[in-house]
């Protein structure tokens, strides 16, 4: 799954022998003191790029994936479900500048939270006020790999409230590991937002908007 992300990214940007660096997502060093929740890959099914994983409340399932473009994705669309929560995701979103957006809703209700990935794809926010600049909501920041002068997200995502790390997520060859502060609980919306962000990066053929992000900011 996304354990291959760095290799695939290197292939698309140039040889691993080229000058490269990897900057961890903010708060990476805190993971050793946090509680870990493993979400293993659902086995027995063929998958490419992103594979469904099994979370505490059941399967995190990607459906109706549609992409256009060859070496670089020109558009991405999919639905993702987890428990009673679903996300309708697409990108890019016309006239907004967002490379990728998910509208997240509980069963039988309208969307009440949105994941908005910023240009460069190294950061996003989870918000109840889509398309508006405000301090409301949560900040998401990825790790960053820099190869041959281009910077892109890889396999780590941190969910932050201000400077405080709430959840750290790591997508690897065996699934996804979520790290939470001791005593904290994981909401279905948080799990789904992180999984959708990981899937967008992992599907393959990263959009051009994700291949030239700003230089990575050192993890706190």
For the CA atoms of 39, 43, 47, 49, the dihedral, rounded to the nearest 10 degrees, stands at 30
pLDDT digits (tens, 9 = 90+) for 53-106: 999 999 999 999 999 998 889 999 999 999 999 999 999 998 888 999 999 999
Domain ranges of the chain: 2-210
Taking CA 211 as the corner, what is the angle to CA 146 and CA 7, rounded to the nearest 5 degrees? 60
Q: Cα Rg for the chain, rounded, in angstroms?
A: 16
**Using one digit for the tens of pLDDT, what is the confidence trace for 176-191?**
999 999 999 999 999 9
DSSP string for residues in 110-153: ---EEEEEPTTSSEEEEESSTT---S-SEEEEE-EEEETTEEE-
Rounded Cα gap, residues 88 and 154, in angstroms:
22
Answer whether residue 219 shows pLDDT above 50.
Answer: no
> Phi/psi class of residue 14: alpha, beta or left (left: φ > 0; alpha: ψ in -120 to 50)?
left
E-strand spans in the chain? 20-23, 35-40, 53-55, 58-68, 75-82, 85-91, 100-106, 113-117, 123-127, 138-142, 144-147, 150-152, 156-161, 164-172, 175-180
> In the sheet that 20-23 helps form, which strands lie side by side, from edge to edge?
20-23, 144-147, 150-152
**Residue pair 32/45 in contact by the 8 Å Cβ criterion:** no
Residues in the chain: 220
Most confident of 42-46, 129-133, 162-166: 162-166
The pair phi, psi for residue 66, each rounded to 5°, is -135, 130
- pTM score, two decimals? 0.88
Report how far residue 164's alpha carbon sits from residue 172's, in angstroms, rounded to the nearest whole number: 24
pLDDT given for residue 48 in this prediction: 73
Do 158 and 165 form a contact (C-beta atoms < 8 A)? yes
- Local confidence band at 135 (pLDDT 50, 70, 90 cut-offs): low
HSE of 155, CA atoms in CB hemisphere, 13 A? 20
């Amino acid at each position: 799954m996304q354990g291959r992300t760095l290799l695939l990214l290197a292939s698309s940007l140039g040889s691993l022998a080229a000058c490269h660096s990897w900057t961890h997502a903010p708060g990476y060093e805190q993971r050793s003191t946090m509680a870990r929740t493993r979400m293993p890959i659902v086995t027995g099914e063929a998958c490419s790029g992103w594979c469904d994983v099994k979370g505490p409340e059941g399967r995190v399932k990607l459906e109706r994936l549609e992409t256009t473009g060859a070496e670089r994705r020109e558009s991405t669309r999919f639905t993702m479900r987890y428990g009673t929560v679903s996300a309708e995701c697409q990108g890019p979103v016309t006239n907004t500048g967002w490379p990728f957006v998910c509208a997240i809703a509980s069963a039988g209700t309208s969307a009440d939270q949105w994941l908005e990935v910023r240009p460069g794809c190294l950061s996003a926010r989870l918000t109840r006020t889509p398309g508006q600049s405000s301090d409301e909501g949560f900040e998401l920041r990825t790790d960053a790999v820099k190869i041959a002068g281009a910077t892109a997200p890889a396999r780590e995502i941190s969910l932050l409230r201000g400077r405080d790390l709430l959840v750290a997520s790591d997508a690897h060859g065996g699934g996804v590991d979520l790290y939470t502060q001791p005593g904290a609980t994981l909401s279905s919306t948080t799990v789904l937002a992180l999984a959708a962000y990981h899937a967008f990066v992992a599907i393959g053929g990263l959009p051009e908007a994700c291949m030239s992000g700003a230089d990575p900011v050192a993890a706190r």
